[in-house]
């Protein structure tokens, strides 16, 4: 018990031992949420004696889940199964693996990523003899996404005996989408949207399945709750209904996925959803210097729709944040690289202590060029995903063939290396398979002696696959991969091809599997491994050696770095003019939260940079309003900024978005009793006209809080 509480402050300890009921932890950046969650999990297992099979812990990314499992293992010992530390999607897969047969799908259904989705579309385009291009694919995938916004379409997919014929009357897109669903069903593939939707349908149609899970999960905890969507919220709410133990952690100021359906209201109005819920605040910030924190606090205060909460620094003072203004983007990039060089030389910072963050991927180009010119190693995180690379997808397709023998994997590797099974022979296989209700692989086996398949590598391929399948049980995943690469001739083919980078990537894949097997200390079987990999998303970053880290702010969520450069802080880029156009104030506030997430990643030093010139669309560049919103004494300005330019920028900001902050003011008077969704009931002590805030003394808090007069959820108590 003592060991569990070691290194936790009082509020964290309270969170750890609060196991019963509905509890929300509202915590700012760097306040040790993740640490509290990990220890709470261990507390439930070690001190309450509850088996991990009864505890669901939902994280935002697979990577976060993996990290948490690793840390939990250290606290509870390596033997226990921690499979329920997972993402929403990972959890849905668990549910479906047990009971999807009730919806007439096999338990070894496959999971489709974007590449797989495109492969299906490509086949349809070929069949319908349509011209294809990336743009059409994207449009169709967006449409499919919209269709899957609710669960109606699932009925169609789970109907027994195949899907109804495509609606002849529908437009071309409609017909393609019908074909797509049909193909999806043929390969029993579920994409990310389907995973959640199928679970909802399963729970709805089979209440016994829902109650099995409700029974099983005594404790549920959710990380990054502010970024949960309605569906995700509904899922945990449903699961928690029986035991009523739901513990959520989040920071409403870090909601950055509103554009994708995230809604911080489940966090902010938690008490309304769960009357009597308990709230714990974590206020100390263990990450950043007081200088960085003040800047973050000052920035986020400009948001109206928020719960006011300052973070308190634990670390001693450090250096002031810096705003660098360059005359052009080359100069900006050069300055950044010089700073990095001197950090490395003087302060003995390592390259990997430095992160360069930006609003959008294209902004990294200048810095990259400069880094290359100076021979500084860097890694772009979340860029071209490791698992999207051709050779990695090929290798994994081999494993999938061994595990499930699915058609997608088959199509991917049957002719790589060349086995003389090209388009024509594939069409033969496809046609036979569809006619006879067999998989492509089964068809190949059945017709291996057919004249169509004479003089091909079919027999050798089948022999290799059959041998691998037989040895699946005795070998672990890394050994199996090695064998597969050799037996099928894939490795030899890659060697002949001679692309060293691809060979390195394959070696890296093998290495990552070995490492995974070792750190987890659990025997992991092929199916489990493939499932984990197929759930990897953009958010899952790979770690590399000592290199500078470049990534978008979205990717940096949840991470921390000693030295942070937030670059391209130009009006129209950050905040993004597109977001503001589409979502007005709400969009602007989300952009500000993004900036807040960016600056609060820094531990020791923070640099915000931007430069003059013109944007891609020809618009003159001005410094971001987010820089002007922060009091000037909170940062040091380097590079000089012409007062005339500041004035121009301010005019531009005012004129361009018509976002004068004139939301209706509430006219509460001093002394009014008010209700606040998080802090409860309190009295207005004074009104600050200049800052447009009420100072409210809440009955449950020791000190008063400034609450914006625009905050709509402050209500008069009748
Ligand atoms: N009680 C504590 N004492 C000392 N250090 C702590 C304590 N709690 C957390 N930390 C450290 O503070 C840093 C931030 O913690 P953590 O990543 O858990 O914060 P977080 O709230 O999840 O952050 P964010 O929301 O910004 O992603 C980590 O380096 C962690 O090790």
Mutate to test the pocket of ligand 1, among 70, 286, 293 (most ligand atoms within 8 A of CB): 286
281: part of which helix (H) or strand (E)? Answer: strand 278-282
Q: In angstroms, rounded to a whole number, what is the distance separating the alpha carbons of residues 603 and 561?
A: 6
Share of the chain above pLDDT 70, in %: 93
How confident is the prediction for the chain on average, in pLDDT? 87
pLDDT at 164: 55
Q: Domain-by-domain residue ranges, the chain?
A: 2-84+217-284, 103-192, 290-384+543-657, 386-534, 673-716
Runs of H (alpha helix) within 240-357: 265-268, 270-273, 290-300, 329-346
Tens-place pLDDT, residues 572-584: 889 988 888 877 7
pLDDT at 523: 67
More confident residue, 121 or 208: 208
Band of residue 661 on the pLDDT scale cut at 50, 70, 90:
very low
CB contact at 8 A, 520 and 408: no
At residue 360, does pLDDT exceed 60?
yes
For residue 670, report the distance from its CA to the centre of ligand 1, in Å.
Answer: 38
At residue 98, does pLDDT exceed 60?
yes
More confident residue, 714 or 300: 300
- Which atom of ligand 1 has the smallest separation from the CA of 36? 18
At residue 662, does pLDDT exceed 60?
no
Q: In angstroms, rounded to a whole number, what is the distance separating the alpha carbons of residues 616 and 390?
A: 31
Q: In angstroms, rounded to a whole number, what is the distance separating the alpha carbons of residues 285 and 31?
A: 5
pLDDT at 657: 57
Pairing of strands 693-698, 680-688: antiparallel
Q: State mean pLDDT over 241-250.
A: 94
pLDDT at 490: 94
Residue 73 is assigned to a ligand binding site: no
pLDDT at 522: 65
pTM, 2 dp:
0.73
Query: Which residues are known to be catalytic?
Result: 33-34, 223-224, 254, 601
For residue 559, report the distance from its CA to the centre of ligand 1, in Å.
Answer: 10
Radius of gyration of the chain, Cα coordinates, nearest whole angstrom: 28
Quick one: fold of 290-384+543-657? Rossmann fold (3.40.50)
445: part of which helix (H) or strand (E)? Answer: helix 440-446
pLDDT at 163: 58
pLDDT at 678: 80
* Least confidently predicted of 93-97, 132-136, 518-522, 594-598: 518-522
Residue 228 is assigned to a ligand binding site: no
**Do the domains at 2-84+217-284 and 290-384+543-657 have one common CATH topology?**
yes
pLDDT at 683: 93
Tens-place pLDDT, residues 628-645: 999 999 999 998 888 889
The residues near 548 (Cβ < 8 Å, ≥ 6 apart) are 340, 351, 352, 354, 355, 356, 371, 376, 377, 378, 379
pLDDT at 119: 82
List, chain by chain if needed, residues with CB within 6 Å of any ligand 1 atom.
7-9, 12, 27, 29-35, 251, 254, 286-287, 558, 560, 600
pLDDT at 86: 92
CB contact at 8 A, 129 and 110: no
CB contact at 8 A, 513 and 478: yes
Tens-place pLDDT, residues 536-567: 654 444 555 688 999 989 888 888 999 999 99
More confident residue, 286 or 262: 286
- Which atom of ligand 1 has the smallest separation from the CA of 597? 26
Helix crossing, 643-657 with 577-599: angle to 10°?
120
pLDDT at 502: 78
Band of residue 463 on the pLDDT scale cut at 50, 70, 90:
very high
Q: In angstroms, rounded to a whole number, what is the distance separating the alpha carbons of residues 514 and 717?
A: 61
Please state the ipTM of this predicted complex.
0.95
**Cis before 215? omega within 30:** no
- Which atom of ligand 1 has the smallest separation from the CA of 600? 26
Of all protein residues, the one whose alpha carbon is nearest to atom 8 of ligand 1 is 32
Superfamily of domain 386-534: PCRA; domain 4 (1.10.486.10)
Share of the chain above pLDDT 90, in %: 45
Band of residue 417 on the pLDDT scale cut at 50, 70, 90:
confident
Band of residue 92 on the pLDDT scale cut at 50, 70, 90:
very high
Residue 478 is assigned to a ligand binding site: no
Cα 273 from chain centre = 25
Q: In angstroms, rounded to a whole number, what is the distance separating the alpha carbons of residues 569 and 678?
A: 33
DSSP 589-616: HHHHHHHHHHHTTEEEEEEEEEE-SB-T
**Vertex 393: Cα angle to 388 and 399 (nearest 5):** 145
Residue 568 is assigned to a ligand binding site: no
pLDDT at 365: 80
Band of residue 210 on the pLDDT scale cut at 50, 70, 90:
very high
- Which atom of ligand 1 has the smallest separation from the CA of 557? 27
pLDDT at 383: 52
* Least confidently predicted of 136-140, 324-328, 410-414, 607-611: 136-140
More confident residue, 532 or 211: 211
Q: Highest mean pLDDT range out of 43-57, 139-153, 170-184, 541-555?
A: 43-57
- Which atom of ligand 1 has the smallest separation from the CA of 34? 18
Cα 635 from chain centre = 31
**Of 3.80.10, 2.30.30, 2.40.390, 1.20.1070, which CATH number belongs to 673-716?**
2.30.30
Into which CATH architecture does domain 2-84+217-284 fall? 3-Layer(aba) Sandwich (3.40)
Mutate to test the pocket of ligand 1, among 8, 26, 30, 355 (most ligand atoms within 8 A of CB): 30
**Cis before 575? omega within 30:** yes
> What single DSSP character describes residue 662?
-
Band of residue 162 on the pLDDT scale cut at 50, 70, 90:
low
Band of residue 173 on the pLDDT scale cut at 50, 70, 90:
confident
**Vertex 65: Cα angle to 61 and 69 (nearest 5):** 170
For residue 348, report the distance from its CA to the centre of ligand 1, in Å.
Answer: 24
Of all protein residues, the one whose alpha carbon is nearest to atom 15 of ligand 1 is 32
Of all protein residues, the one whose alpha carbon is nearest to atom 5 of ligand 1 is 286
For residue 286, report the distance from its CA to the centre of ligand 1, in Å.
Answer: 6
Mutate to test the pocket of ligand 1, among 6, 8, 64, 287 (most ligand atoms within 8 A of CB): 287
Tens-place pLDDT, residues 7-20: 899 999 999 999 99
Residue 31 is assigned to a ligand binding site: yes
Residue 333 is assigned to a ligand binding site: no
Residue 680 φ then ψ, to 5°: 90, -145
Band of residue 597 on the pLDDT scale cut at 50, 70, 90:
very high
At residue 625, does pLDDT exceed 50?
yes
At residue 6, does pLDDT exceed 70?
yes
């Amino acid at each position: 018990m003592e060991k569990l509480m070691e290194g936790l402050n009082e509020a964290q300890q309270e969170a750890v031992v609060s196991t019963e009921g509905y509890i929300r932890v509202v915590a700012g950046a760097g306040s040790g949420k993740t640490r509290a969650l990990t220890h709470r999990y261990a507390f439930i297992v070690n001190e309450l004696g509850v088996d991990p099979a009864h505890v669901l812990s939902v994280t935002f990314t697979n990577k976060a889940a993996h990290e948490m499992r690793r840390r939990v293992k250290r606290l509870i010992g390596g033997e226990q199964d921690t499979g329920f530390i997972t993402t929403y999607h990972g959890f849905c897969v668990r549910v479906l693996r047990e009971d999807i047969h009730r919806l007439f799908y096999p338990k070894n259904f496959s999971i489709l990523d974007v590449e797989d989705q495109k492969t299906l579309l490509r086949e349809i385009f070929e069949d319908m003899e349509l011209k294809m291009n990336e743009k059409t694919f994207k449009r169709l995938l967006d449409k499919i996404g919209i269709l899957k916004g609710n669960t109606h379409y699932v009925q169609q997919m789970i109907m027994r005996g195949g899907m109804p014929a495509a609606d002849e009357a529908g437009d071309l897109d409609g017909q393609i989408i019908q074909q797509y669903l049909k193909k999806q069903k043929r390969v029993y593939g579920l994409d990310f949207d389907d995973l959640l939707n199928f679970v909802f349908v399963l729970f709805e149609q089979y209440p016994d399945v829902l109650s099995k899970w409700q029974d099983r999960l005594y404790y549920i905890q959710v990380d990054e709750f502010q970024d949960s969507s309605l569906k995700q919220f509904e899922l945990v709410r449903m699961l928690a209904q029986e035991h009523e133990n739901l513990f959520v952690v989040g920071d409403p100021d870090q909601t950055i996925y509103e554009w994708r359906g995230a809604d911080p209201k489940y966090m902010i109005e938690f008490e309304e959803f769960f009357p009597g819920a308990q709230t714990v605040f974590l206020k100390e910030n263990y990450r950043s210097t007081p200088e960085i924190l003040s800047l973050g606090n000052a920035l986020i205060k400009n948001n109206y729709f928020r719960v006011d909460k300052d973070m308190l620094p634990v670390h001693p003072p450090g250096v002031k944040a810096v705003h660098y203004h360059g005359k052009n983007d080359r100069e900006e990039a050069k300055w950044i690289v010089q700073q990095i060089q001197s950090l490395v030389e003087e302060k003995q910072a390592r390259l990997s202590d430095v992160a360069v963050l930006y609003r959008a991927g294209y902004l990294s180009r200048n810095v990259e060029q400069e880094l290359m010119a100076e021979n500084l190693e860097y890694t772009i995180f979340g860029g071209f995903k490791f698992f999207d690379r051709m050779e990695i997808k090929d290798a994994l397709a081999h494993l999938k063939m061994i595990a499930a023998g699915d058609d997608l994997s088959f199509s991917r590797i049957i002719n790589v290396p060349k086995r003389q099974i090209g388009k024509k022979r594939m069409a033969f296989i496809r046609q036979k398979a569809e006619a006879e209700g067999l998989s492509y692989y089964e068809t190949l086996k059945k017709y291996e002696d057919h004249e169509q398949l004479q003089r091909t590598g079919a027999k050798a391929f089948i022999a290799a696959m059959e041998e691998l399948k037989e040895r699946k049980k005795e070998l672990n995943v890394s050994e199996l991969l090695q064998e597969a690469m050799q037996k099928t001739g894939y490795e030899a083919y890659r060697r002949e091809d001679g692309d060293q980078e691809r060979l390195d990537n394959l070696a890296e894949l093998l290495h990552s599997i070995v490492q995974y097997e070792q750190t987890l200390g659990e025997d992991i079987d092929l199916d489990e491994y493939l499932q984990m990999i197929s759930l990897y998303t953009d958010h899952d970053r790979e770690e590399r050696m000592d290199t500078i880290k470049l990534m978008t702010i979205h990717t940096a969520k949840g991470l921390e770095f000693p030295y942070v450069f937030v670059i391209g802080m130009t009006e129209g880029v950050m905040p993004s003019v597109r977001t503001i156009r589409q979502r007005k104030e709400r969009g602007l506030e989300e952009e500000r939260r993004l900036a807040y997430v960016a600056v609060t990643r820094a531990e020791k030093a923070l640099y915000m940079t931007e430069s003059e010139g013109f944007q891609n669309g020809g618009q003159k560049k001005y410094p971001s309003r987010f820089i002007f919103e922060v009091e000037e004494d909170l940062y040091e300005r380097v590079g000089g900024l012409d007062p005339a330019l500041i004035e121009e920028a301010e005019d531009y900001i005012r004129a361009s978005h018509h976002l004068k902050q004139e939301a209706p003011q509430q006219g509460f008077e001093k002394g009014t009793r008010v209700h606040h969704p998080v802090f409860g009931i309190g009295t207005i002590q004074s009104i600050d006209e200049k800052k447009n805030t009420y100072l409210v003394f809440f009955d449950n808090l020791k000190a008063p809080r400034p609450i914006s007069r625009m905050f709509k959820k402050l209500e008069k108590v009748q």
